[in-house]
A and B are shown apart, each in its own frame.
Chain A
């Protein structure tokens, strides 16, 4: 059966006796972009090297196209030749752009004519045809990474591995290349394993996302579901739900629960039963602040809590406001709103958010280490 392009089972990797990766079961499907996302040191790159057959796991099984991988001399090369990798540093060889893009094809002993025929279109596609004769060491960061991408795509691999390919680029270069990569990946339909610590990149490129924390895969799902319905508090925190508060379900009606939290009540959609202990997660950008004098604002937001501004922290385009509502509640609002509301530390405010903004994690899920896809 080859419904899975790559699969790992019970894989573990340890460096100097320290376990850095432990994955129960994980599969990459043909033609999907599978994103491994997580903070630095979560084991993403290690897992990528295992999947790319660049490193053997201390224990566990890896299967490629339905066949178990044998870690024996000579057995890996033919499999590796059906793959291609791009890393954070372009790692170009000391030759021309053309020579670099041709490198993998030379390893596969193609004739110069065939190499030329395959290299040219990819130089065009990545917008580096005019640089073909340039020595690689004279390229800018963006040009170098384009060369590195062309060098991988030209191999027409069964699986493409991208390990933080934009990590070293400046923001405009990164965004331009990200858009192009997205379109190339969609057109070519190549199975891709994409590693990033950037949640935005994961949302944009991944057909499925695996969140990795502390050497383990915590959740595997579509980007929408991972970001909208994080399975655990850690995942929720990683995907940007800065506010996580424990509570108990007091009432449940038509799928809407009334959940008692420290200072009051939060309404949220959940199938949790009455009396059940849950975690409520909130993204700071979903929280709206208003003056506490008078009645709460008349909006579609059914949740309003009273709190006191604890800290105001300007963060470039928006301002982070930490509110003490009996628990730590964080909001991102605009600089203009801060002035308009006359927010100062110590002042009382209303914090409002929609029923749909509050995501409920049921505690029996919250403790589990892994969710299966």
Chain B
């Protein structure tokens, strides 16, 4: 118990002092996972909407692929992204391995099936007759899609939370493609592992608490947004 209590005090101290190392790690975590989530939304929402709203051959197969993708093990993604980004790999010329960009790429790969799958599910929940009604009121295809996303906005916010929650807390991929380089690719999760390995339990606890705090604040904000909308 003492250890946890000490960790909490440490964490508060680190935050209050705005410890530059911790701040840098926290900021990088937020930035990398934020960008990865944003990119996954840009790709996942249209893709998920397309899968959810249209009928095509092999749709069930594609949905199964996406649903499998929602549970991709981060280490597997880390491994394959590493292979692609290695100097001798197909994308080696980009020289991205062990950079924050590489982590963004890996986390994007993890997050976009989550967004795609949840968007597809959300779109399938909507009464199919509503699409005809919207077209019957003079909506263009894009306007119809926009309105359907609005109808599913609570489910969409859940998708954002799930995607961000998955990537900010994953470690396998960040470690493998980022390399945990201090001041460059060290994020909250990789730093926590390192400090634990070094026996610096207090710092590790402090970092975990910060990670928990971040995820809580972000989910709290999104949930508040969601519930305010639902109450209307």
Give A residues with C-beta under 8 Å from B.
49, 52, 54, 77, 80-81, 83-85, 87, 89, 91, 93-96, 103-104, 107-108, 135, 151-152, 155, 161
Residues of chain B whose beta carbon lies under 8 Å from any beta carbon of chain A: 127, 129-130, 132-140, 143, 147, 150-151, 232
Scoring B133, B143, B147 by chain A CB atoms within 10 A of each residue's CB, the highest score goes to B133
* Given known contacts A93-B147, A94-B150, A104 and B138 CB-to-CB distance under 8 angstroms: yes
Would you call the interface of chain A mostly helix, strand, loop, or mixed? mixed
A-B contacts counted at CB < 8 A amount to 56
Would you list 9 pairs from A and B whose C-beta atoms are within 8 A, ordered by A residue? Answer: A83-B136, A85-B136, A85-B137, A89-B129, A91-B133, A104-B138, A107-B139, A152-B137, A155-B138
Known contacts A91-B127, A94-B151, A104-B137: does B232 contact A135 (CB below 8 Å)? yes
- B-side contacts of A77, CB under 8 Å: 138, 140
Question: Closest CB of chain B to A75's CB: distance in Å?
Answer: 12
Contact yes or no, A103 B151, CB < 8 A: no
B135 vs chain A, min Cβ distance (A): 6
CA distance A152 to B151 in the complex (A): 19
Q: Is the CB of A80 within 8 A of B127?
A: no
Q: Is the CB of A91 within 8 A of B129?
A: yes
Whether B135 contacts A91 by the Cβ 8 Å rule is no
Say whether A84 contacts B150, CB under 8 Å: no
Interface centre among A81, A85, A94, A103 (most CB of B within 10 A): A94
Q: B138: shortest Cβ distance to chain A, in Å?
A: 4
> Is there an interface contact between A54 and B151, defined as CB atoms closer than 8 Å?
no
Q: Which residues of the partner chain B approach A135 to less than 8 Å between Cβ atoms?
A: 232
Contact between chains at A108 and B136 (CB < 8 Å): no
Q: Are A49 and B140 in contact (CB under 8 A)?
A: no
Kindly report which residue of chain A lies nearest to residue B151, judged by CB atoms.
A94
Tell me if B138 and A54 are in contact (CB < 8 A).
no
The answer to whether A81 and B138 have CB atoms under 8 Å apart is yes
Q: A87-B129, A89-B129, A93-B151 are in contact. Are A151 and B137 (CB under 8 A)?
A: yes
Q: A87-B132, A89-B129, A91-B130 are known contacts. Are A80 and B138 too (CB-CB below 8 A)?
A: yes
Give, as a whole number of angstroms, the nearest-CB distance from A87 to chain B.
6
Q: Please, which residues of chain A bring their CB within 8 A of the CB of B151?
A: 93-94
Complex: A89 Cα to B129 Cα, angstroms? 9
B-side contacts of A89, CB under 8 Å: 127, 129
In the assembled complex, the Cα of A252 lies from the Cα of B228 at a distance in Å of 79
